[in-house]
Chains A and B, each alone.
Chain A
Amino acid sequence: MSAGTQAPARHHIVTATVENKAGVLARVASLFSRRGFNIFSLAVAPTDQERFSRITIAVDVESAPLEQIMKQLDKLVNVVSITELAPEEAVERELLLATVHAGPSERSQVIAVVGVFEGKIVDVGPERMTVMLAGTPAKLDDFESLLRPFGIAELQRTGPVALPKLERRTGRLRSIAGGEGEPA
């Protein structure tokens, strides 16, 4: 069972815009460790402004109240701004790379699975194949479980990055785009 399958219920995405300075990631990581906050995944990348980077953290909101995590993070001098995204308010995407055992007899089946998920084959060898898929963490979970029977040699996931969902103009649009509401 992968961490991803249980994540949605317990994790929130926190994105922090931080100064692009030496040691900032260490400060953030150290804060989480010192306060006993758990991290599911963490992604760091430059932003469109050279001075700043964005850190996207999937945090375990059972380890500590989200409000406390946000406030402590905000106290770091190098953290410029923070946004919190509940799973239902976020557009989340993650990238998965996997090398699977795919000899001549299984190759077409793997290609079929990749095709169904609209993934890509990025490398092919005589006995193995490396595939990639970008999508929601849940979709990646499904993809991973369908690849598993072939035998996974190596697998890497980036952890999600996220942006807030855009405001919808009307209730009707929301019902189309957002799907059914959660059962109460």
Chain B
Amino acid sequence: MRLTGAQALIKSLEMQHVEVIFGLPGGAILPVYDPILDSSIRHVLVRHEQGAGHMAEGYAHVTGRPGVAMVTSGPGATNIVTPLADAAMDSIPIVVITGQVPTTAIGTDAFQECPITGVTMDITKHNWLVTDAQDIPRVVAEAFHVATTGRPGPVLVDVPKDVSNAQMEWYWPSSVDDLDLPGYHPRTEGDPADVRRAVELILCAERPVIYAGGGILKARAADALRTLAERTGIPVVTTLMARGSFPDSHPLCLGMPGMHGNYTAVTAMQRADLLVALGSRFDDRVTGKISAFAPDARVIHVDIDPAELGKVRRPDVAIAGDCRLVIEEMLEAWDSLAPQRERPDLGPWMARIGAWQEEFPLAYRQEEGGALKPQYVVETLRDMTPDDTIVASGVGQHQMWASQYWRFEHPYTWVNSGGAGTMGFAVPAAIGAKVGRPDKMVWAIDGDGCFQMTAQELVTASAERIPVKIAILNNAYLGMVRQWQELFYEERYSEVYLSPDLPDYVKWAEAMGCVGLKVESAEEVAPAIEKANGIDDRPVVIDFRTDAFEKVYPMVPAGSSNDDIIVGPAEGEGGR
């Protein structure tokens, strides 16, 4: 069967069971947009290419399937660089197709030419420049294989216009053996001897903590993690990327560790004699000052990416493998070893943990008639939405409050930008999540600064009837930067004020085809949420006017030891 390269590309995406492409056409990708008209694949027309990338990420987050975005050459391609970097940091499988100027024009500084494979070399798992239409099915199959296996990540396929227009003879690679990837062999199963050594360490630990990271979710290992925690009785911290991988209501769940983690999660890791790191990477936001991190702990580190083992902290047992498979191997080893062993009583350790939880809970105070507290908004929203609501967030204070005060009970209900810290992530990611899981309620908890970066995608959501709901915690500031300036720059506020009324968020929402609501006091919170929950034919934006002086606590100042955690504001701090 003779096809054009463009037809082969769309057919290849169909062969990969792609349901939806997030994209925006332009000159170099024009040939590929024509066969989309005849394809079963849905196309969501974004208003800015960055939106397409984050939608693909949101889709991938909640479905576990790769998100697909398609954009044109030059600025179209560079506009999707941020989502690629974001997906690389958080190991999100996305496949980005970019148009490219014709091969004959490459290197001539042609109109809308940009060497996007060079630009994205370090922020994709791999990328391809296709120079022969005959290669298209194979390269697409390779791209999906690389994006979704091993440590997942973003890939980019750059397709010059003449390649899209050229004729090719259709085929489809029937198996991995037909791919041309001689250097790509991700390892998934752990070494049995190392697994056994890991279990031996667990069996003699007195103060163990499971340090669960985003890899648990990538490996679909939430059930395995729960079994491991329950069988061994070891408490679990869930990092920002792992929220939802272990139910917050579980008695063994300690919640989020790190710079804005709760006291118990942070301190349990500091005092532990064993950390079982599963799909986590000892990120600086988790460890604080690395030389002072968990000083007495031995470390078992399980990660599918061998380069993570020993990158930051030298493990005592390093296991390269898929978290789900390795946990299952550990459970088997546990069942054979545990009955023969005398194991230390974890009771005293759990008692210490319980005492910390009691003494240092997350805390804020919503005064009656006082300024609206952002935490109160998050808690009310949490209590008024179904358990399996998907929550997306941007980056900053609102993200930390969302992570702290939401109660995550199910995996794949939390969509956020962890490693890259991309402001503006929430709105497009929520839209992508809703496209992937139309059956679920999707809320974005956003900041006013973040919202202004990508809000235009609500036009996309209205046009495509994607009913996401956005809660803006509008404190009129770039709040996290403001917090640092207050605490570490002697309250010298440099370029952080945004204004609560400019733009007018309600009018803006309405202009974009959404319902816009404004909430200024605690009493109005619940009614507004109730109204928003009842709207299912268009997006809703609620502008919550929150207290600009509220800060995220606890906090470990950057570069400090986690032992120096600040639990709450000092007396008289943040005076007006």
* A residues apposed to B, CB below 8 Å: 18-19, 22-23, 26-27, 30-31, 34, 51, 65, 67-68, 71-72, 74-81
11 A-B residue pairings within 8 Å (CB atoms): A19-B182, A23-B129, A26-B118, A34-B122, A68-B310, A68-B311, A71-B306, A75-B305, A77-B125, A77-B181, A79-B183
Say whether, besides A31-B122, A77-B126, A68 and B307 are in contact (CB < 8 Å): yes
Question: What 10 A-B pairs come out closest when comparing CB atoms?
Answer: A71-B307, A80-B183, A77-B126, A34-B122, A79-B183, A77-B184, A80-B182, A72-B307, A71-B306, A30-B121
0/1 interface trace, chain B 112-125, chain A, CB 8 Å (1 if under): 00000110011001
Q: For residue B275, which residues in chain A have a CB less than 8 angstroms away from its CB?
A: none
Q: For residue B305, which residues in chain A have a CB less than 8 angstroms away from its CB?
A: 75
Q: Which of B118, B129, B183 has the most CB of A within 10 A?
A: B183
Q: Which of A22, A30, A74 contacts B122 (CB 8 A)?
A: A30
Size class of the contact patch on chain B: 10 to 19
Whether A77 lies near B146 (C-beta < 8 A) is yes
Shortest Cβ distance from residue A184 to the other chain B in the assembled complex, whole angstroms: 26
A60 to B184, CA, bound (A): 26
Q: Which of B121, B126, B183 contacts A18 (CB 8 A)?
A: B183
Shortest Cβ distance from residue B305 to the other chain A in the assembled complex, whole angstroms: 7
Q: For residue A22, which residues in chain B have a CB less than 8 angstroms away from its CB?
A: 129
Q: For residue B311, which residues in chain A have a CB less than 8 angstroms away from its CB?
A: 68
Whether A27 lies near B121 (C-beta < 8 A) is yes
A72 to B122, CA, bound (A): 12
Q: For residue B121, which residues in chain A have a CB less than 8 angstroms away from its CB?
A: 23, 26-27, 30
Q: Is the interface of B mostly helix, strand, loop or mixed?
A: loop
Whether A77 lies near B117 (C-beta < 8 A) is no
CB closest residue in chain B, given A24 = B183
CB closest residue in chain A, given B126 = A77
Q: For residue B126, which residues in chain A have a CB less than 8 angstroms away from its CB?
A: 76-78
Shortest Cβ distance from residue B91 to the other chain A in the assembled complex, whole angstroms: 12
Whether B118 lies near A77 (C-beta < 8 A) is no
CB closest residue in chain A, given B131 = A22
A26 to B119, CA, bound (A): 11
CB closest residue in chain B, given A64 = B311
Q: Which of A30, A34, A72, A77 contacts B183 (CB 8 A)?
A: A77
Q: For residue B306, which residues in chain A have a CB less than 8 angstroms away from its CB?
A: 71, 74
Q: For residue B146, which residues in chain A have a CB less than 8 angstroms away from its CB?
A: 77
Say whether, besides A77-B146, A77-B181, A80-B183, A23 and B307 are in contact (CB < 8 Å): no
Say whether, besides A26-B121, A68-B307, A51 and B182 are in contact (CB < 8 Å): yes
A67 to B305, CA, bound (A): 13
0/1 interface trace, chain B 90-121, chain A, CB 8 Å (1 if under): 00000000000000000000000000011001
Q: For residue B122, which residues in chain A have a CB less than 8 angstroms away from its CB?
A: 30-31, 34
Q: For residue A19, which residues in chain B have a CB less than 8 angstroms away from its CB?
A: 182-183
* Residues from 295 to 316 in B contacting A, C-beta threshold 8 Å: 305-307, 309-311
Q: For residue A80, which residues in chain B have a CB less than 8 angstroms away from its CB?
A: 182-183
Given A19-B182, A34-B122, 19 new contacts (CB under 8 A): A22-B129, A23-B118, A23-B121, A26-B121, A27-B121, A30-B122, A31-B122, A67-B310, A68-B307, A68-B310, A75-B305, A76-B126, A76-B183, A77-B146, A77-B183, A77-B184, A78-B126, A78-B183, A80-B182
Q: For residue A30, which residues in chain B have a CB less than 8 angstroms away from its CB?
A: 121-122
Whether B118 lies near A75 (C-beta < 8 A) is no
Shortest Cβ distance from residue A50 to the other chain B in the assembled complex, whole angstroms: 13
Q: For residue B125, which residues in chain A have a CB less than 8 angstroms away from its CB?
A: 77
A74 to B151, CA, bound (A): 13
Q: Which of A27, A65, A77 has the most CB of B within 10 A?
A: A77
A26 to B115, CA, bound (A): 13
Shortest Cβ distance from residue B455 to the other chain A in the assembled complex, whole angstroms: 33
Shortest Cβ distance from residue B100 to the other chain A in the assembled complex, whole angstroms: 14
A5 to B126, CA, bound (A): 38
A23 to B181, CA, bound (A): 15
Whether A23 lies near B310 (C-beta < 8 A) is no
A77 to B310, CA, bound (A): 21
Shortest Cβ distance from residue B185 to the other chain A in the assembled complex, whole angstroms: 10
A81 to B309, CA, bound (A): 19
Shortest Cβ distance from residue B170 to the other chain A in the assembled complex, whole angstroms: 24
A18 to B311, CA, bound (A): 24
A26 to B184, CA, bound (A): 18
A79 to B181, CA, bound (A): 10
Q: For residue A67, which residues in chain B have a CB less than 8 angstroms away from its CB?
A: 310
Q: For residue B310, which residues in chain A have a CB less than 8 angstroms away from its CB?
A: 65, 67-68
CB closest residue in chain A, given B122 = A34
A74 to B187, CA, bound (A): 12
Shortest Cβ distance from residue B29 to the other chain A in the assembled complex, whole angstroms: 21
Q: For residue B307, which residues in chain A have a CB less than 8 angstroms away from its CB?
A: 68, 71-72, 74-75
